[in-house]
A and B are shown apart, each in its own frame.
Chain A
Amino acid sequence: MAEPVKKKGVHWAVQAWVFLHLFLVFSWTVPDPPERITRQAGFQTGAEIEQGVEPPTAPKPSFAQTVKDAPNYYLLYNRLWIKNADPARYYMGFSGFWQAWNMFSPNPANVDVYIDAIVEYQNGEVVQFKYPVMQELSLTERYFKERYRKFVENTHLDTYSYKWPPIAQRVAYLSYRGDGNFPTKVTLRRHFKTIPPTNPIPPVEGYIAPEYKTYSFFTYMVDIEKLQRQVR
């Protein structure tokens, strides 16, 4: 029979780490400050830093306004002193503790998006490549294939254009039929529709959803040597 465990209490270092960890998780996950506050405090916004432009001077807020904005100033200094600080970035980023809980926020997405591609082959043939589109799959399939939707959400915007060549190369890889006729060009297309607002008029019976629009957002000349290696 084992000896009963003696309760020794928790070492102070463990206690300190517990609080530090929770503090960093909280600091990491709170929102960034509103642009108005960044400006009032005389700092550049993210876009201004990227473009290297000076921020315009903002009028000095009243004392009452400053008090009202206290939580936003907390967010500003949290961003500057904690989230941007290397120790926090490494602790949260390296370890996999990074997290963000901005689901459906600040506003939920109102644009429905899916992608497909137009593939041109060496012999001049042109075919459409179907990327998994959730609404065209069965209920079971879409439950298992939802990662494809998430991937589009995280890659289709221009900010992520560096992710497009591997997508196009993958499309070429999947489009090759083993007949020596290689795809030479892939054009990625975005299909999207914007959901109209419901406010102030509530949706009524007979509401007609908007139609999808199509936009070619990337043309890629296939790296055929790489493709030949991939299909070998």
Chain B
Amino acid sequence: MTDKRYIKLAHGGGGQLTSELIEQVILPALAGPQKPGRLADSALLSANGPIAFTTDSYVVQPLEFPGGDIGKLAICGTVNDLAVCGATPSAISMSLVLEEGLQLDLLKRVLSSAGAAAGTSGVEVVTGDTKVVERGGVDGMVINTSGIGRIADECDLGFDRICQGDAILLSGPLGEHALAVMSQRESLSFTADLASDCAPIHELTGALVSELGKDVRFMRDPTRGGLAALLVDIAEATGRDIEIRQEAIPTNKTARAAAEMLGLDLLVAANEGKLVAVVANSAAERATQILERFDICDRPAAIGHVGTVSQTPLVEMVTLIEGRTVVQRPYGEELPRIC
């Protein structure tokens, strides 16, 4: 008797079990309105104008965590990579590498959550692949997604557009993804009331670009390396100093407490549903108001400004006590496999 509750090597063998898996599990969860009658080897898409194209692999452990799972993360991560380039995400590919013995129910949950996230993001999963590797070959499952999106005409983003005096906006409190995942890790015994912020941010980026046009200079989502790594990247790429104010940075109490327990700095903790936008200072207030319209933005704020060109560009933070510290890119592997 074969146990139908688990993934077997034969599910990736290209035979009958593979077809069953695709037809009965994967397609129902992922296929959009234009459900393909037959599965072609490639998705055929038409495009005019500049296209953004991105790819990312997801290896988070545990596969399910408060606020999301690897499926939702794999869609949102790629949608967000497109969105911060000013693109409207349209099509996504999804490749699954499954470990022999993975629970079929878990796979169904993950795929259904990926399907729901794709729906929310307005993208279609148009092509994909499934492989099964022997037990131990991967840890449960790995998902790779690639995505494309059309870049809006009014959009002109890049490090080279960042000017002195530009405002740096953050869409909400820091670190919730990293801490939600860490709190689920077996080795951590505390139970924090924390959920990942995992969410698509294409509506935020879309609204900023369409309403503010070229006043939006640069956007990125502060994932691995957190806000700190992102700001250091900006400082290094532009050769400019950056100053942020700690009191302006939104954080949540539980995240702060969990970070303190773990010895983590919220500035370097990963987020999966936040946006950092550099906008012309004259547009900062409007940009904040635009962000406030969205549910996933909690206390969006201008947290600092871009300074002058410097030989040794630094990100400095004015602390809560009005002291000054330097913000550095995190060096480490302190938080492996959180996305």
Do A and B actually bind?
Answer: no
